[in-house]
Structure 1
Amino acid sequence: MAELTTIARPYAKAAFLFARDNSALAEWEKMLGVAAAVAEDPAMRAWLQQPQLSAGQRAEAFADVCGDALDEGGRNFVAQLAEHGRLPLLPAVFELFHALVAAEQAVVDVELISAHALEEAEVERLVASLKQRLGREVRTTSKVDERLIGGVLIRAGDTVIDGSVRGRLARLAEQLNS
């Protein structure tokens, strides 16, 4: 995984700089999202691995599948990736691009996982607390996982805050066993 990220990083940075310089971050994020989804498709992956295809054929077919989601810049980007045999890296490129956009906009994506659906007031309190703690704007997505029993598990990038009952019980059991 680290190797893929290392290889994908220069492509993501180039796309980011181009998009930022052309005031098109949102458009490029959308284009790369579509291209990443196409690249993850098992049928597309299998098709791209055919050795008899030229880089131009791969790029053209890939761009055709993406359709109108790619503008001329997006098609050129896909062509460059195809030329260097890097089309399978598009999901990693998209993730890195998204992280660069979030850093540029001082935004952090936070996943809230709870045992039951959170009420709007609960989400607002958590967002306010996270804004203060992280020093950034916060975008949230919520997910329900009944296995947590109660409480909330918060994931913000590499930071995980486990306020779930299951997590607390696990920490208590660990302390008792020590």
Structure 2
Amino acid sequence: MALYEVAKKERSVEEAKQDLTSIAGIFNAQPQLQNFLASPLVDREKKLDLVDKVFSDRARPITMKLLRLLIDKRRETELLAVREEFERIVEEAHGTLPVLITSAVALDKGKLDQIVTRVAQQTGKDVIPEVEVDPALIGGVQVEFGNSILDGSVSGALKRLRERLFIDVFKQA
């Protein structure tokens, strides 16, 4: 991705990542802004003016160039996908892996470290854990990273059992 290469050259990868995250947050908080930029009825110049007014004091020049380029190429709606891809490239380049660890109850440090170590061994990457508590899991843990979900939760086991029973019922019918 060109943005990563330019940011790397300028030694501003983390800053570009922060900008994209901040802009995505604004888009998510202000859906009307996203709708305005996505509208084919709105003139390109009006979109550029709005982006300059809203983001010029919040984003670095490299990020502003990206926003303007997306508008020029009529790819305004791709900003969130660009952010996700940029983050993936940065994580890959740095050998890091964000991991979402969800448990039914709060995990103690020892258990969390055990999960992080296991995922790090499995993937060969430095794990950056994000921990959430979801009582709906009933018990156990779900671990999500990349395109993988390791579901060791009670609710997941019940769901798999329900699906298996459902399939067995139809096989007999």
TM-score range, shorter chain: 0.7 to 0.9
Tell me if 1:51 matches 2:41: yes
What number of residue pairs does the alignment pair up?
165
1:94 and 2:83 correspond:
yes
**1:81 matches 2:70:** yes
Are residues 175 and 39 of structure 1, via their aligned partners in 2, closer, same or farther at CA, if it must alter by over 3 Å? closer
**CA, structure 1 residues 30+63, in 2 after alignment: closer, same or farther (shift >3 Å)?**
farther
Q: TM-score, normalised by structure 2?
A: 0.86
How big is the alpha-carbon RMSD for the aligned residues of Structure 1 and Structure 2? 1.9
Q: Which runs of 4+ in 1 moved over 6 A?
A: none
Instruction: Normalising by structure 1, report the TM-score.
Output: 0.83
Select 2:157's aligned residue among 159, 168, 177: 168
Contact (CA 8 Å) 1:33, 1:94: kept in 2 or not?
yes
After TM superposition, list the pairs within 5 Å mapping 1:1-178 onto structure 2.
Answer: 13-40=1-28, 41-48=30-37, 49=39, 51-53=41-43, 55-175=44-164, 178=168
1:63 to partner: Cα distance: 3.1
**CA positional deviation for 1:14:** 1.4
Q: Which moved more, 1:106-115 or 1:64-73?
A: 64-73
Partner Cα distance (1:176, 1:80) in 2: 53
Give secondary structure in 1 for the equivalent of 2:132.
strand
Gaps in structure 2 of 5+ consecutive residues: 169-173
Identical residues among aligned pairs (%):
27
Contact 2:56-2:64 at 8 Å conserved across structures = no
Shift of 1:141: 0.7
RCO higher in structure (CA 8 A, sep ≥6): 1
Q: Determine which structure has more spread, i.e. the larger CA radius of gyration.
A: 2
- The answer to which of 80-89 and 164-173 deviates more is 164-173
The structure-2 alpha-carbon separation of the partners of 1:52 and 1:150, relative to structure 1 and needing over 3 Å to count, comes to: closer
What residue in structure 2 maps to residue 9 of structure 1?
Answer: none
Q: 1:77 to 1:172 in 2, by over 3 A?
A: closer
How far apart are the structure 2 equivalents of 1:91 and 1:39? 9
